[in-house]
A and B are shown apart, each in its own frame.
Chain A
Amino acid sequence: MAAKYISREKLPEWLKALAAERRVLVPVEEGGSVVFRAYDPAKTPVFGSDATAPPKGSIFPASQELFSFACGKEGEDVKPTLTLEAHTEAQPTVVFGSKPCGARGFLIFDRVYMGKKYPDPYYIAAREATVFVTMACDTVENTCFCHWVGSGPADAAGSDLLLTPVAGGYLVEAVSDKGAPFLDSPVLTDGSAKTAEAEAVKTKTREALGEAPDIANAPAALLERFDDMEFWRDQSDKCISCGACTYLCPTCYCFSITDEGSGLAGKRLRSWDACMHFQFTLEASGHNPRPTKAHRLKNRVGHKFSYYPTLHDGLIACCGCGRCVKSCPVSVDIREIVQNAVAKAKA
């Protein structure tokens, strides 16, 4: 389909039109961070730099009801009853202005949440109801490494529309069937005159990232280091087990299930959980298969660069967004850990 164009001035008009019919999430500043919130015409979205937190909650909320329950005692003979009620339906949503890494994160989720044996009805409903309007990057940060993991600053995988910044506005391209109808909007004009410029922006940004190191043998190299606890103690030395790296990660999908309410009525929730926490694998007997932060970091890095790719056709469970690097209070850098493991394996 032919590409379209929208000027920077017209963007609020498009957002308003979109928001009239569905939830539109945009990156906005809030308390010093950039986070995705429902579009409010009074607040200017932050489209230049990448958001502090990815749009993970658009499809996988930080906390979500799985079902509600009510217990009762029925009639004269006091028979206990238990009723459960689940709502899986999701709200139509547009995530507008995340970077390619934010949208790509859900490709990692898809393999797990839309698996053949136990497809997750909550995730699937939200995934189907959500459209990603992604903005290609025209600048890079020193924490970005999307090019290491098969992605890039104009990667449209997992997105429905791709916007590329050009002089005065954006080139708008549909990259999925779900995205195509959105090009019909009257605020968009013909973009054919801008495609060459957009291509140049994409190439220039990709070049700014430089060469990617060869991490093809990372899955094997990390497994080879599994019992080398000295290596893992070194790598995790500074870690304070805060979990920020997992909560901000667009590809971290672990959750916990807890009940809320009294024994008589309440709900069962699922909430984000973090493998960097001691309690994550603590068993009732007191035994913990991952007793130290070294064990836990090993699992986090191992999962992303070894176990997941082994199970899912080589797909790395990290989109290289660098959020964990940028937001770690003590500067643990997942890139260094992977490279150290690869270097040790070669030595």
Chain B
Amino acid sequence: MTDPFNPYLPEVATILETVQETHNIMTFRVRFDDEAKMAAFKFGPGQVGQLSAPGIGESTFVINSPPTRMDYLQFSVMRTGEVTSKLHNLVAGDKVGVRAPLGKPFPVEDMKGKDIVFVGGGIGMAPLRTLFLYMLDNRADFGKIRLLYGARSPLDMAFSAELPEWTSRKDIETTLTIDREADGWEHKVGLIPNVLLEMAPSAENCVAITCGPPIMIKFTLEALKKLNFPDEQILTTLEKRMKCGIGICGRCNIGTSYVCVDGPVYTYAQLKALPNEL
């Protein structure tokens, strides 16, 4: 009998490159060792993967490279505990396990023809990056694209190598902000929700996508409501502690919804319909 598909068994992948984004965020670019599997691999923006450091365990991270750029799969990992600390010790050439893609992607088809506002805070920029780059690679399919990206300080901004390109491009509008004044900072200063209110994007035919720390999401949602964004036009991604990632281990549910298979992407309207257990 041939071995049935085993959803627990990771693909072995090699780290091609690492980028130290901030003092506690590191980006990993990986490729599956099995080139046929790499060539056949498909995913949508917003889907996640489980990265394994064998001997320590595995943890969930969003695939933050877009499906339009398949030279590698990119994960950006904030160091918080055991698995993430182990991953931070790895270097190019080292092996990791990858189980992907898991979860549901952003509903990109529904966003075509619409204006888009991205609101990202800190590591929350990771899930937005994949969709943002996907849209830039399919620029004609979308209306006005705005990105508001904030972090505590300039040193906490991930993807800094890409920021000059994002801020200089004419076909998008990028606003960067930090919480407090810092030497040499040429962009905005102010909390994300306040800057968003200043920007005042029109909710007309526009989808807002937000991700970041829970407190930032809370106030960003309030700001979006003030700007008259309907609940159906606000998207966010949820975090829950995960193990299996495939809807079996019973860990990540909010009522009947399993974040690992039904999420992590939800509209604000969907979130409101779920029991209050965030």
Is chain B a partner of chain A in the same complex? yes
Q: In the complex, what distance in Å separates the CA atom of A254 from the CA atom of B4?
A: 22
A118 and B54 in contact, given A86-B6, A282-B241 (Cβ under 8 angstroms): no
Q: Which residue of B lies closest to A252 (CB)?
A: B250
Which residue of A has the minimal Cβ distance to B94?
A80
- Of B5, B10, B96, B275, most buried by chain A (CB within 10 Å of CB) is B275
A331 sits at the interface (CB 8 A): no
- For residue B93, which residues in chain A have a CB less than 8 angstroms away from its CB? 79-80
Contact call A119/B4, Cβ cutoff below 8 A: yes
Interface string of A272-283 (1 = CB under 8 A from B): 010100001111
The reply to whether B243 and A255 form a contact with Cβ atoms under 8 Å apart is: yes
Interface stretch, picked from B55-63, B164-172, B195-203, B204-212, is B55-63
Question: Which of B6, B55, B243 is A69 in contact with, Cβ under 8 Å?
Answer: B55
B255 near A302 (CB under 8 angstroms)?
yes
Contact with A along B263-278 (1 / 0, CB 8 A): 0000000000001111
CB–CB A311/B256 < 8 A: yes
- Asked if A259 meets B57 with Cβ closer than 8 Å, knowing A82-B97, A117-B261, A120-B7, the reply is yes
Q: Determine if A257 and B54 form an interchain contact, defined as CB atoms under 8 angstroms apart.
A: no
Selected from B52, B57, B251, B277, the residue in CB contact (under 8 A) with A254 is B251
Chain B residue at minimal CB-CB distance from A77 = B93
Chain B interface, >50% SS class = loop
B95 touches A81 (CB 8 A): yes
Question: Is A37 in contact with chain B by the CB < 8 A criterion?
Answer: no
User: Could you tell me how many residues of chain B have their Cβ less than 8 Å away from some Cβ of chain A?
Assistant: 46
Residue interface mask A68-83, B partner, CB < 8 A = 1: 0101000000011111
Chain B residue nearest to A285 (CB atoms) is B80
- The reply on B3 being an interface residue by CB < 8 A is yes
B230 CB-CB contact with A under 8 Å: no
Closest CB of chain B to A275's CB: distance in Å? 7
Is B233 an interface position by the 8 A CB rule?
A: no
A280 touches B251 (CB 8 A): yes
- The 0/1 profile, CB within 8 Å of B marked 1, for residues 104-119 of chain A is 0000000011010111
Residue of B57, B240, B256 with highest tally of chain A CB at under 10 A: B256
Residues of A within 8 A of B58 (CB): 257
**A150 interfacial contact with B, CB 8 Å:** no
Q: Kindly provide the distance from the CB of A117 to the nearest chain B CB, expressed in whole angstroms.
A: 7
Q: Assess whether A253 is in contact with B250, with CB atoms less than 8 Å apart.
A: yes
Name the CB-closest residue of A to B56: A259
The stretch from A179-187, A260-268, A333-341 touching chain B is: A260-268
Residue among A69, A273, A284 with max Cβ neighbours from chain B (10 Å): A284
Which residues does chain B contribute within 8 Å of A299, judged by CB atoms? 253, 277
A69 adjacent to B54 (CB under 8 Å): yes
Answer yes or no: A47 CB below 8 A from chain B CBs.
no
Q: Tell me the B residues contacting A by CB distance below 8 Å.
A: 3-10, 12, 52-58, 80-81, 84, 86, 93-97, 214, 239-241, 243-244, 246-251, 253-256, 261, 275-278
